[in-house]
Structure 1
Amino acid sequence: MGLMKIWIDADGCPVVDIAVQVAGEFHIPACIVCDTSHYIIREGAETLTVSEGKDAADFAILNRVRKKDIVVTQDYGLAALILAKGGYAIHPKGLIYSETNIDRLLAQRQLAQKMRLAGVRMKGPKKRLATDDLLFRERLVGLCRTAIAERKDEEGQDPKGR
């Protein structure tokens, strides 16, 4: 199965630094994916820059992600596709996407889009708090532990390839 990886959908992502730090703590390779208008480099992570365009970073991640990889994304559609490929997905606020919540999230997104198209003014996202960063970190650490344990069970070896 090869090395597991943490993919960071970095365009507009407020937790790039935390995700890279956690990846380093677990010795998991991290890849920051962004388009040319958001070029992001962090020590300890690879950067994959894609051409500017709607969902370009999402498609780049989707085409490269493997079973049991972890993806950090705010995009519910990408999260659903990652889950379908056997990966894990986590929102920057710490929500772990799962088979039990993704349909509801996608339905809410579709309803909000219909309301916006109908001219209904929607509230923006709540201001990010320090507690959001702590929760994200805690949940990402837990997800890393889960992914590593599941890869060991499936492969019967150390997931880092040793």
Structure 2
Amino acid sequence: MKVYVDADACPVKDIIISQASNAEIPVILVTSFSHFTNEEQPPGVEIIYVDTGADAADYRIMKLAQKEDIIVTQDYGLASLALAKGCIVLHHKGFVYTNDNIDQLLQTRYLSAMARKSGKRTKGPKPFTDEDREKFGELFKGTLEQL
């Protein structure tokens, strides 16, 4: 088992690395070259760089991920693909993507995109809070313990 992180805008990388390292589970951060760093990573953490094009990180994650790997993403499309592959998919705000909720999430995304296309303004995501961070930490820890 491995943990794959859609890492470009992931605000909980530190939690993932810390908890997965304690559980001796490898972490793969998939990010675009525009986020390149020379920073040394802890043992068990690998960074894979991809082109800056749309969905490049998503495609690489799906190419590498295996059934029952954990994927952390805020991208509903990637979450849908990962669920179909049998992965455990978590959102950084502390909820699990499931076959029961993914259709509604994708529908909401689609309707918002259509509204924006027709000139309407839609609300963006709510700011990430300390409560979200804590909720994700508990969810991730519980997920690791179950496995």
TM-score, structure 2 normalization: 0.93
Letter in 1 for 2:134: L
Structure 2: distance between partners of 1:71 and 1:143: 11
SS of 2:71's partner is: strand
State the partner residue of 1:79.
79
Letter in 2 for 1:27: E
Structure 1: distance between partners of 2:144 and 2:119: 41
Residue 65 (structure 2) pairs with residue 89 (structure 1): no
State the partner residue of 1:70.
70
- Identity between Structure 1 and Structure 2 (%): 43
Structure 2: distance between partners of 1:123 and 1:104: 17
Structure 1: distance between partners of 2:29 and 2:82: 16
Residue 71 (structure 2) pairs with residue 106 (structure 1): no
Comparing 119-128 with 99-108, greater Cα deviation is found at 119-128
- 1:91-128 CA-partner distances (Å, limit 9, x unpaired): 01011000110111011110111011111111222121
Residue 25 (structure 2) pairs with residue 16 (structure 1): no
Q: Cα RMSD between the aligned structures?
A: 1.1
What's the offset of the Cα at 1:39? 2.2
Comparing 19-28 with 71-80, greater Cα deviation is found at 19-28
State the partner residue of 1:115.
115
Structure 2: distance between partners of 1:116 and 1:43: 42
Displacement over 3 Å in runs of 4+: none
Structure 2: distance between partners of 1:39 and 1:23: 22
Structure 1: distance between partners of 2:49 and 2:132: 27
Aligned residues: 144
State the partner residue of 2:131.
131
> Runs of 5+ in structure 1 lacking a partner?
149-162
> Runs of 5+ in structure 2 lacking a partner?
none
SS of 1:67's partner is: coil
State the partner residue of 1:43.
42
State the partner residue of 1:155.
none
What's the offset of the Cα at 1:145? 2.2
